[in-house]
Amino acid sequence: MTRPVVGIIGNSHHLEERFYVQMGGENNFRAVAEVAGALPLMFGALPGITDIPSLLEVVDGILLTGARANVHPDLFGESPTEAYEPYDANRDTIALALTETCVEKGIPLFGICRGFQEINVAFGGSLHPEIRDLPGRINHRMPRLENGDIHPDIDFVFGDRHDVSLIPDGYFSKLYGTDTIRVNSLHGQGILQPGERIVVEGVAEDSTVEAIRVADAKGFAVGVQWHAEYDPQHNPINQLLFQDFGKALQAQRAAS
């Protein structure tokens, strides 16, 4: 059997203030290829170019990655402010429709960071632009130096920052065989209200939602707030997630 194919969503960037490009982080490609055992295939988050039915005839699953841009607040009934910026409206359009279609058809769907938030919004949930501003919450953004620069040590930036408590007998607790895991943290926006079909399976020490699944989904449909694409070749928490995603992809390929 040939390897299953994973569609990895692109992100819009204005390169050198001259060229509009679609980009994706290499960690996502390596995680899919080296841990999930699949062929990564990036597609443009561009309505009118990426036809979802045609895309899903080609791929066996979808990875909604993290990104610099946030989901537009219009999509969950909030007024746009600078706190929610920047945006990628084209990705919003593709990702939310793709989420609904994958869940309906049982096509494996894995959301990371922004992708996790997109899954929530697709099912009617809302987001907060700065989780750290809510009472009792910690700063979940990436570590920075005192002068505001991003910390130069990438392993420190993506290092484990806080625990996540998992609900008993849920997908994640069964996957890990424990009720507590420790993960990285590099996000400002986060889930405020879970969507109608969103099952919260993991929360951080400050009650920030960290792990979700879609209730009654026909196939693999989960999301995590942390960056699971970082070093799943060695990090056991991230490795197990991508390996299980790979199993779902293999099953989808065998059934097609």
Measured CA to CA, the distance from residue 36 to residue 250 in angstroms comes to: 9
Is 102 a catalytic site residue?
Answer: no
Measured CA to CA, the distance from residue 91 to residue 43 in angstroms comes to: 11
Q: 26-34 and 236-255 helices cross at what angle (nearest 10)?
A: 70
**Tokens for 135?**
């009472």
Given the residues 113, 140, 201, 210, the one annotated as active site: 113
Given the residues 118, 201, 210, 229, the one annotated as active site: 229
Is 229 a catalytic site residue?
Answer: yes
Distances (CA, A) of 71 to 16, 86, 92, 146, 227: 24, 9, 6, 29, 17
Is 128 a catalytic site residue?
Answer: no
The residues, ordered by sequence, that sit 6+ positions from 167 with a Cβ below 8 Å of its Cβ are: 173, 200, 201, 202
DSSP 150: B
Which residues are catalytically annotated?
A: 113, 227, 229
